Amino acid sequence: MEKVVSIFMSVLLMLGVSSCSHQIPVSINETSRTEISKVESSLEVSEEMSEISGTENSIEVSEENSNGIYVLKIETNGNVFYADFEDNSSAEALKEKLNSSSVTLNMHDYGNFEKVGELPFPLVRNDEYITTSSGDVILYQGNQLTIYYDINSWNFTRVAKIRNADSTLKDKLGEGNIFVTLSLEQDKNV
């Protein structure tokens, strides 16, 4: 009941009733008592859920917002690439990790068709047998990220696809070891 009174007082404060110097009589009929009980029950359930999850009630930021959706921003060798995320739990996990801060990977050439680097965290896998193409951003073994500039077939998890990737991607990525910074950016094209 204290919480209901507290909420009621908060509403009164918002309405500017707090400046009244006299008390406001409040009569509670049976309908009001039923509504107050519902509010109390709702508050108790909400508190129990917070205790179970170990978090306070909060509003999560969704992928979509008033300015569009988020894309994967890839920066290396003075080039910036934008990649559209795949619709799978691996891509969602990567977005969640990048939501708090960017990540820089040390990547190297492998097999003359990809750059590969180890992630500082594991991601959930959604492996399937696929054939890659230029611009595919792939999760390999749950802890390595690869950027493909040529074709390869294997069991991988596709997490994103670089927009407008073509045969020049290999040259733009550069030869040998490179540092690649991954971050989230709102999609300006939506």
Q: Please write down the HEC assignment for all residues of 113-128.
A: CEEEEECCCCCCCCCE
13 three-class SS:
helix
As a whole number, mean pLDDT of residues 91-99 equals: 96
* Alpha carbon distance 130, 102 (integer Å): 28
**120/158 Cα distance (integer angstroms):** 18
CB 190 within 8 A of CB 110: no
Q: Are 148 and 114 in contact (CB under 8 A)?
A: yes
Tell whether the model's pLDDT for residue 43 goes beyond 80: no
pLDDT at residue 184 greater than cutoff 50: yes
What phi-psi label fits residue 103: left (phi over 0), alpha (psi between -120 and 50 degrees) or beta? beta
Contact 125, 86 (CB under 8 A): no
Question: Cα 124 vs. chain centroid, distance in angstroms?
Answer: 14
> Over 50: is that where the pLDDT of 144 sits?
yes
* Structural domains of the chain, ranges and CATH numbers in brackets: 2-53 (no CATH), 70-186 (2.40.100.20)
Pairing between β-strand 103-110 and β-strand 79-85 as defined by DSSP bridges: unpaired
> Percent of the chain having pLDDT more than 90?
61
Confidence at residue 190, expressed as pLDDT on a 0 to 100 scale? 67
Greater pLDDT, 29 or 181: 181
Q: What is the pLDDT of residues 50-82, one digit of tens each?
A: 444 444 333 233 344 344 589 999 999 999 999
User: What's the rounded mean pLDDT across residues 172-188?
Assistant: 95
Residue type, 187: D
Q: How far apart are alpha carbons 144 and 122 in whole angstroms? A: 8
Q: Mean pLDDT score of the chain, rounded to an integer?
A: 77
